[in-house]
Amino acid sequence: MAMFRSLVASAQQRQPPGGPAGGDSGLEAQYSCPICLEVYHRPVAIGSCGHTFCGECLQPCLQVPSPLCPLCRLPFDPKKVDKAAHVEKQLASYKAPCRGCSKKVTLAKMRVHVSSCMKVQEQMANCPKFVPVVPTSQPIPSAVPNRSTFTCPYCGARNLDQQELLKHCVDNHRSDPNRVVCPICSAMPWGDPSYKSANFLQHLLHRHKFSYDTFVTPGGVAGGEGAPSSQTQAGVSRAVPSGRTQLWIPGVGSPSHHPMA
């Protein structure tokens, strides 16, 4: 992820005024927002460092007292963030092939085209489907929440896995005093999307230092061998570093422990 952002930043800095570097090859990547990784939408540029982002993507950074550029981490004045008119002009001028049907589309219209391209929809339809870990009579959800990657609650940096989020916050937000919602907890079935941690960094270090395998089943707990064979309420089984299965029933006391086989 960091390497991709670095490449995007380098491409922005190397972009010659007469046209895109390398022709159509990699053109979409050259004009992709380092936060959402999609073609720029209403791009804005930070005055001090010159880095460009989608206007909407940069909004979370503008809500904190001392904003930092999501790419280079340099402080900037939110009043000196302006519309990137030169980038918008290039988006309207340059064309790139659609990643689905290969039709050449102006970058300014790429997002709209991709959202309706049948080839792209077919590719998305071939993505892995949700499969229950145990047989169930409950309806299978058609859309499963993304619990693999997360967005930084401070600066809006996206597509960070659990360990990347931890490292990102330790490296870049160690002294940030803002109360924020934990994106990992809020993505879970028991998470409260409105609860803000008083010390998010300490919460990350203590609660999410390790990667947990989480399974939720309608009538019990699934966690492989050693998990309880039956459970009267919906529960969560988590593999913890101690080598035991930690069982927590939402709303019923604190976690209890069961030895693993």
CATH architecture of the region 27-127 = 2-Layer Sandwich (3.30)
Give the count of beta carbons closer than 10 Å to the beta carbon of residue 96. Answer: 21
pLDDT (tens digit per residue) in 47-72: 999 999 999 889 888 888 888 898 88
256, pLDDT greater than 50: no
* Per-residue exposure over 236-245, b if at least 16 CB sit within 10 Å of its own CB, e if not: bbbbeeeeeb
7, pLDDT greater than 70: no
Q: Which residues make Cβ contacts (< 8 Å) with residue 118, sequence separation at least 6? A: 100, 101
Give the count of beta carbons closer than 10 Å to the beta carbon of residue 53. Answer: 26
- pTM for this structure? 0.47
pLDDT (tens digit per residue) in 225-245: 333 433 333 333 343 444 443
Spatial CA neighbour of 212 closest among 162, 250, 146: 162
Where do the domains of the chain lie? 27-127, 162-214
Spatial CA neighbour of 41 closest among 96, 82, 87: 87
pLDDT (tens digit per residue) in 190-201: 777 888 888 888
